[in-house]
Structure 1
Amino acid sequence: MSGSRICWRRACAGLAMAGMLVGPTVGTAYGDPSPAPTTASASASPGDTGFATLDAATSARLDRALREVMTETSVPGAIVGVWAPGKGSYVRTFGTADKATGAPMTTDLLMRIGSETKTFTVTALLELVDQGKIGLDDTIGRYVDDVPNGDEITLRQLAGMRSGLFNYSEDEDFFKALTSDPERPFTPDELLNYSFRHPVQFAPGADFEYSNTNLILLGLVVEEVSGMPLDRYIEENVLDPAGLDRTLFPTGAEFPRPHAQGYTDQTASGKVENATDWNPSWGWAAGAMISDLEDLREWARVVATGTLLTPETQAERLRTEPTGVAGAGYGLGIFTLHGWVGHNGSLPGYESLTVYLPEERATLVVLLNTDIAHDGEEPSTLFGEAITRIVSPDHVYYLPPGAGTSPAPSGSGSGSDRGSGSG
């Protein structure tokens, strides 16, 4: 690892930003800042090499559609990227990164990515499978003591959301603890205790139910087998090989600059608050990571095509099971939805969507600085639907309203990284 990356991830990451957005300078690695809040602006990125911009008519349609979604959902700010070989690229920012200052969203801003963390944790687990150190059909009881049904639940069932273990982030006491002191740290054992006080929901493998508890356990397996802290194992064995030098797994509330401010209504008062500096340790292996547009663009392809895994293990990952939602399946830490492969994320203040369409080798990334639902629907889902109706009408990223236990882990009752669920 280069010295500059060590500085950015370890030394610089130790500085928690205290509510102030520091804007990028002109000519940063990811393009010039957007000219003004609430304006859609093109953003040239060096990662666009080989991609012309989408034709003017399609770009204009996307601009109009996304402005409408911005207005409808009252999302403060959005970063959007679409890349499709043979069609072109579309990179835009909309709205504000900081409502207090009016600073605009820009393409180089770091964002909390919630449950997209699961794709990194499960990739780390599957690398250990490829190394012959664990087996997908090992029971969790081999690695972690005192798990309900631990002698029956397999690692495969945990990664595929079919364990039956209660989702700790839906526990009322957990929600009170988080919202009463959102900067406090949580340990994996504390999180598991919130889950294990509840009865199991169904027999292992009998059903699909999104649960962050599963990923906390898998994170502990990675640590037990590798002998390394999860954040360091992921850095050295997932981020570095994938070339993701603007992605990190924070161990506390650290949030390197530049980043957007994030806004949530998942609060003790129910009022909208700034959640930027909330400690994401409560999400840990299920939802604590940070990234940006360009790294997620690359990660979408890596995770969907299995660059870091053997073909056999990647095939296991993509072997999806039904979720109860038409057109949607869940594999091992990854979902498929009408042809798109990837994951979304939601935790207080932020939402993200990173998906890849193998049929067209197309990539879609959406980053938002709020997790506030609109009429029961997640904003990232509405953005994904609006974009794909235009750029991939045969593969629309669509979930019906109130789709219960869906592969889109971003809402109460569907596994969001909010206090009432987890994404």
Structure 2
Amino acid sequence: MRRPSPPRRSTAARTLAAATLAVAGLLPLAVAPAQATPPVDTLAKGGDHDYPHHELSPELQAKLDKTVRDVMKKAGIPGVQVGLWMPGKGSYVRAFGVADKHTGAPMTDDLRMRIGSETKTFTATAVLELVDDGLVGLNDPISKYVKGVPNGNHIAVRDLLDMRSGLFSYSADSAFIRAFLKNPKRPFAPKELLGYAFKHRNQFPPGSKFQYSNTNYILLGLVVEKVSGKSLRDFIEHRVLRPSYLDHTLFPQAAEFPRPHAHGYTDQTPTGKVADATHWNPSWGWAAGAMISDLHDLKHWAKDLATGTLLSPATQAKRLKVLPTGIPGAGYGLGIFNVNGWTGHNGSLPGYESLTIYLPEQRATLVALLNTDILYKGEEPSTVLGKAITSVVTPKHVYYLPPQK
């Protein structure tokens, strides 16, 4: 599944079709220097409460250290946080490289990062909680909640959740792309985003095929607000973040970015020149990609998401029923994917990428946070890293999403 982000360079939209679930971020700060400080790795400072405290074997740690450094070097990744928790084998938590290319400040495992399309897992959970409350039906037409949606009488809430609505993704609209690149600090309102999408004809009849579209999740955010009477931000705070004890995760109101955080670097600029996107306004991603979190919160969220801590067993079973995406080894459910056995989501927006996945078979969790979204040979850097790590620790379950044409 691919990311919902603006285009690479100014030539064409980076269409978030179906190969790496993600989104984008926003503000042109200082341009990064030509050479980054050499990677430095640091041991974790945080504790683990639902896994054994012992670390992986020294041999496996050394192999993973080399694997991560090799990926960083070839893909040009400034900094990475990696957390791997494998019951019965131990844990591995490291931070490599730099959090700020200008100052050379090291990456550490306690820095907050923008998580892009992982926001969809929180939005989907909010909707599914309303399903459990009896206030929303998965088969309800979106027209029941939001007026003016093309073919809205035939597009169900379920079609939005599992990316089968046929609605055009606003983030692939040329006018949106121009507006974003002209001023990435500017705010976007949800209905403004829908305006970019609704200018286009629907791509296919609802339910007939998979196509990743940020438009789906903007609509789902509006469903939550209409039914609950609360802002999406407040609903997620009270019904998702607090019950899961995610104290370092938030849905920002605008471009705020609580410290400590890492700087993020992107080449999604009018000229293709690398820029510091740390403070770009993520409102354009809203329910599809605006959230912020950290390594240790995402470790706990991976398990809650995959096991359905906040939902009824029946609703969780519906969430986990993945349908084909057309991508080998990858299926998509209700705001969640399964890639070769790993369940979770990834995220991307200018300057940042993330990957949070859980392997039920081994009760293993992998979280990776990167401070760049610059592609490596057409691949998302989070995919390159995830593939390399899982090839080492779970060779029968390798996480991989091929580049989309």
TM-score of the alignment, normalized to the shorter chain, above 0.5:
yes
Q: Quick check: 44-53 or 320-329, which moved more?
A: 44-53
**Residue ranges of structure 1 left out of the alignment (5+ in a row):** 1-15, 21-35, 405-423
* d(CA) in 1 for partners of 2:321, 2:328: 16
With normalisation by structure 1, the TM-score equals 0.86
Q: Report if the CA contact (8 A) 2:40-2:98 is conserved.
A: no
* d(CA) in 2 for partners of 1:333, 1:130: 16
The yes-or-no answer on 1:88 pairing with 2:90 is yes
Q: Report if the CA contact (8 A) 2:27-2:280 is conserved.
A: no
With normalisation by structure 2, the TM-score equals 0.90
- Tell me the secondary structure at the aligned position of residue 167 of structure 2: coil
The yes-or-no answer on 1:160 pairing with 2:151 is no
Counterparts of residues 95-134 of structure 1 (less than 5 Å):
95-134=97-136
Q: Report if the CA contact (8 A) 1:17-1:257 is conserved.
A: no
The yes-or-no answer on 1:295 pairing with 2:325 is no
Q: Deviations over 1:297-321 (max 9, x none)?
A: 0000000100000000000000111
Instruction: Please point out which of 178, 181, 194 is paired with 1:179.
Output: 181
Instruction: Please point out which of 68, 71, 82 is paired with 2:70.
Output: 68
Q: Report if the CA contact (8 A) 1:17-1:255 is conserved.
A: no
* d(CA) in 2 for partners of 1:140, 1:172: 25
Question: Match for residue 266 of structure 1?
Answer: 268
Q: Deviations over 1:131-173 (max 9, x none)?
A: 0001000000000000001000000000000000001001111
* d(CA) in 2 for partners of 1:265, 1:19: 12
Give 1:18 shift.
11
* d(CA) in 2 for partners of 1:246, 1:45: 13
Give the ranges of 4+ consecutive aligned residues of structure 1 lying more than 3 Å apart after TM superposition. 16-20
* d(CA) in 1 for partners of 2:46, 2:187: 36
Question: Match for residue 283 of structure 2?
Answer: 281
Q: Deviations over 1:83-130 (max 9, x none)?
A: 000011011111100000000000110000000000000000000000
Give 1:76 shift.
0.6
Q: Report if the CA contact (8 A) 1:169-1:175 is conserved.
A: yes
* d(CA) in 1 for partners of 2:353, 2:400: 16
Give 1:17 shift.
11
Counterparts of residues 1-400 of structure 1 (less than 5 Å):
38-47=39-48, 50-400=52-402
* One-letter identity of the residue aligned with 1:334: I
* d(CA) in 2 for partners of 1:261, 1:120: 24
* One-letter identity of the residue aligned with 1:46: G
* d(CA) in 2 for partners of 1:171, 1:17: 20
Give 1:179 shift.
1.0
Larger RCO (CA within 8 A; separation ≥ 6): 2
* d(CA) in 1 for partners of 2:170, 2:306: 28
- Tell me the secondary structure at the aligned position of residue 104 of structure 1: coil
Counterparts of residues 407-418 of structure 1 (less than 5 Å):
none
- Tell me the secondary structure at the aligned position of residue 351 of structure 1: strand
Question: Could you say what the CA RMSD is over the residues aligned between the two structures, in angstroms?
Answer: 1.5
- Tell me the secondary structure at the aligned position of residue 178 of structure 1: helix
* d(CA) in 1 for partners of 2:40, 2:229: 48
Give 1:268 shift.
1.6
Give 1:198 shift.
0.7
Q: Report if the CA contact (8 A) 1:37-1:94 is conserved.
A: no
In structure 2, the CA distance between the partners of 1:403 and 1:17, relative to structure 1 (3 Å rule), is closer
- Tell me the secondary structure at the aligned position of residue 238 of structure 1: helix
- Tell me the secondary structure at the aligned position of residue 242 of structure 1: coil
Q: Report if the CA contact (8 A) 2:39-2:96 is conserved.
A: yes
**Residue ranges of structure 2 left out of the alignment (5+ in a row):** 1-25, 31-36
Q: Report if the CA contact (8 A) 1:78-1:369 is conserved.
A: yes
* One-letter identity of the residue aligned with 1:318: L
Q: Deviations over 1:201-256 (max 9, x none)?
A: 00001110000000000000000000000000000000000000100000100000
Q: Report if the CA contact (8 A) 1:42-1:91 is conserved.
A: yes
Alignment length (residue pairs): 373
* One-letter identity of the residue aligned with 1:42: L
* One-letter identity of the residue aligned with 1:394: K
* One-letter identity of the residue aligned with 2:106: P
Give 1:45 shift.
2.2
Give 1:40 shift.
2.4
* d(CA) in 1 for partners of 2:263, 2:29: 7
- Tell me the secondary structure at the aligned position of residue 343 of structure 2: strand
Q: Report if the CA contact (8 A) 2:52-2:91 is conserved.
A: no
* d(CA) in 2 for partners of 1:376, 1:275: 20
* d(CA) in 1 for partners of 2:107, 2:385: 16
Q: Report if the CA contact (8 A) 1:247-1:292 is conserved.
A: yes
* One-letter identity of the residue aligned with 1:250: P
Give 1:355 shift.
0.3
Give 1:19 shift.
6.5
Give 1:39 shift.
1.8
Give 1:37 shift.
5.2
Q: Deviations over 1:36-90 (max 9, x none)?
A: 9512232242126623100011111111111110001001100000000001101
Question: Match for residue 408 of structure 1?
Answer: none
